[in-house]
Amino acid sequence: MWPPSDPQSDVPEPPPAPPPVESRRGRAFWLAGGLAALIVTLAGAAVAASALRAPAAPDAAARRTVTSPDGTARVTVPAHWAPMRLNDAAGIQVGDAEAQVYLTVITEPRRDPAEPVEAVAARAVAAVRARAAGSRALQPESLTIGGHPAVRQEIRGTVNGLALTYWHTTVATRSRWHQIITWTLADRAPRHADPLRQITTTFRDPAP
């Protein structure tokens, strides 16, 4: 089972994943997980501590493609990123615990084809902001990812005493909604913003 349990791990634990988003029908929509319950402990953050105490320098150019178990989502990330347990609702959960950058992809059937991606994205971002102290969101950005309409928005706030920056992207395919969430500590956001945004654009739904 990933991640391995190692009480001696010195890897920083990931910041909290975003909270649940409720649909207009009142059911859990994209169960993004409770804040405190989904924080990964130091004992199981990423990889065994013995491998981390003398790590090889990662190849910044090397990439690999990660696919969700059900085959509905894939994304290309740096090759040294490891699987992590960030959110039990996510089909893809990966990150770099040393750099404290994280990515999840959560997928759900698109039951209402007429619902615009902007409305779904706004609802999701509002739910994240409601759980973050002093939160603010920058202007949403419309873009196309893998040939599908998408909305991306940066969210800043404090959760469980941690100042965080999230990049929340909603992608609408013909039959599915995808929520791609990347995040890091706020003081690392200037360094990681562009790479994380670029990684998000590699998202693909192999059978939309």
pLDDT digits (tens, 9 = 90+) for 13-60: 455 565 444 444 434 343 333 322 232 222 223 222 223 333 455 666
The pLDDT assigned to 128 comes to 82
Q: What is the pLDDT of residue 179?
A: 93
CA distance 204 to 74: 5
Residue 129: per-residue pLDDT: 87
DSSP assignment letter at 187: G
Q: Say what the pLDDT of residue 61 is.
A: 79
207 pLDDT tier (thresholds 50, 70, 90): confident
pLDDT digits (tens, 9 = 90+) for 68-114: 999 999 999 999 999 999 888 899 999 999 999 999 999 999 999 89
Helix (H, G, I), strand (E, B) or coil at 63: strand
Does residue 178 surpass a pLDDT of 90?
yes
- 144-164 pLDDT, tens digit per residue, is 999 999 999 999 999 888 899
More confident residue, 47 or 131: 131
Q: Which CATH class is domain 21-50+62-200?
A: alpha beta
Distance CA 78, CA 58 (A): 9
Of 1-10, 116-125, 187-196, the one with minimum mean pLDDT is: 1-10
What is the CB neighbour count within 10 angstroms for residue 170?
A: 26
Residue 159: predicted pLDDT: 86
Tokens of 41: 């402990």
Q: Where are the domains of the chain?
A: 21-50+62-200
In this predicted structure, the answer to whether residue 126 has a pLDDT above a threshold of 60 is yes
Task: With 0.85 as the threshold, say if the pTM is over it.
Answer: no
As a whole number of angstroms, the distance between CA 27 and CA 32 comes to: 13
Q: What percent of the chain lies above the pLDDT cut of 70?
A: 71
